[in-house]
Structure 1
Amino acid sequence: MPAKTNRGPVAGPANRRALISAARTVFAESGYDAPLNAVARRAGVGQGSLYRHFPDRVSLAVAVFDENIGELEAFARSKRSSLGGLIELVIEQAIVSTALIELTMNSADDERVRVLGERVAALVDEVVAVERDRGRIGAEVDSADVLLAISMLAAIVSRTPEQDRRSVAERAWALFPASFAVTVHGAGMVE
């Protein structure tokens, strides 16, 4: 087998993207304690490249969540934005990112993780304001309530066996609509 050609700095952005993608997969398959060399192997890069981009586990988790939050921010600013849609997207992300949820929960005092939390709070503020303007959420409901619901959902999903995550998330979310004064449709999810 021929040795890999070192492409130098031009490979950096592609390596970073490959590492983030690999981290999603490796942590989803092997959990929080998955060896970081497995991430590098899956990405097809050397361990040195991994540590150049992500010097620790939290850095890697922050990069994955940064992308996840980018998706949530785009949704919150879209015309189809709704509380139920936001929660559905959070659930989809949580189902495949359970180990990363645990990792960031354990690192809540880390400034990098706090910044992510601030971004989530800001996008939830946007969605709550839109839902309130549309008359689909009670005036007594504030962003802190929605953030609490999201945290509870993420926590329960992260501790549920993979095959049961979707149904458990839907059951858990079904408990909130009456409190938020929104209409429930379908399998317990909010429109």
Structure 2
Amino acid sequence: MTQQPLSDERRPDERRPANDGPKAAARNRAALIGAAREIYAEQGLDAPLSAIARRAGVGQGVLYRHFPDRAAVAVAVLEENVRQIEQAAAADGADLIQVLGVLTWHQTESAAFVRVLYADGPGSHSDAPAYAQALSRRVELALRRHLPDGHRLAEHADDLMIAVGMVSGAVTGPTREQRERRALAAWRLLGVEVGPVRPFDE
């Protein structure tokens, strides 16, 4: 597929990065994943792929070289979200409060992530795609490694991910600030303490 030229009237955050060889591919992929997360949060999962390419500052040909279809983009966003949560859980000195803060950031930033986690809620697990079930289990394992005995989310086997699904269902609103406020309110109503809502800092 040929790369489509973009308008010269780009926003400052949509300028095409300089081509510097092998580093460009990794940079473009990371830019596309970040752009997809933003676009999905703003416009939903049905947003056009061209909007993602524009936000990342690349042509659609570059997008299709990395991701052959819409599903591949969504899975890449989800994989990156889960990877960051796993890294947060594996970091030195990590605890449940901190990891929940990273999880909550991804809940507020990524409409796709919210939908996958919520699909794993009570009564719907069997209907979730296999990849969604696998990603949800990875999130659960990352959280459980820091779940203290006697914690309110450890009382029953399903409580942890039911709570995550409930918070995910509360994450609505047109702005990230509104979504974060609702997510934190949901955790508070569940009686669960959450650390700073921010991405994992490698």
Same fold (TM over 0.5): yes
Counterpart-to-counterpart distance in 2, 1:6 and 1:77: 34
In the other structure, the counterpart of 2:58 is 45
In the other structure, the counterpart of 2:133 is 114
CA RMSD of aligned residues (A): 3.2
Counterpart-to-counterpart distance in 2, 1:82 and 1:5: 40
User: C-alpha deviations, 1:43-97, integer Å up to 9, x for none?
Assistant: 2222222123222323212212222212211222234333332222221111111
Paired AA for residue 149 in structure 1: A
Paired AA for residue 115 in structure 2: E
CA contact (8 A) 1:19 1:50 kept: yes
| Cα shift at 1:39 | 0.7
- When normalised by structure 2's length, the TM-score is 0.70
In the other structure, the counterpart of 2:167 is 153
SS across alignment from 1:101 = helix
In structure 2, relative to structure 1, the CA distance for the partners of 1:11 and 1:148 (3 Å cut) is same
- Say which structure is richer in helix: 1
Q: Does 2:164 match 1:164?
A: no
Gaps of 5+ in 2: 1-7, 9-16, 121-126, 196-202
Counterpart-to-counterpart distance in 1, 2:35 and 2:194: 32
Counterpart-to-counterpart distance in 2, 1:176 and 1:139: 9
Q: 1:25 aligns with which of 12, 15, 38?
A: 38
Q: Does 2:92 match 1:68?
A: no
| Cα shift at 1:173 | 0.6
Paired AA for residue 97 in structure 2: G
Counterpart-to-counterpart distance in 2, 1:112 and 1:150: 18
Paired AA for residue 21 in structure 1: G
- When normalised by structure 1's length, the TM-score is 0.73
CA contact (8 A) 1:32 1:100 kept: no
In the other structure, the counterpart of 1:144 is 158
In structure 2, relative to structure 1, the CA distance for the partners of 1:161 and 1:73 (3 Å cut) is same
Q: Does 2:139 match 1:126?
A: no
Gaps of 5+ in 1: 178-183
In structure 2, relative to structure 1, the CA distance for the partners of 1:60 and 1:96 (3 Å cut) is same
Length, aligned pairs only: 173
Runs of 4+ in 1 over 6 A off after TM superposition: 4-10
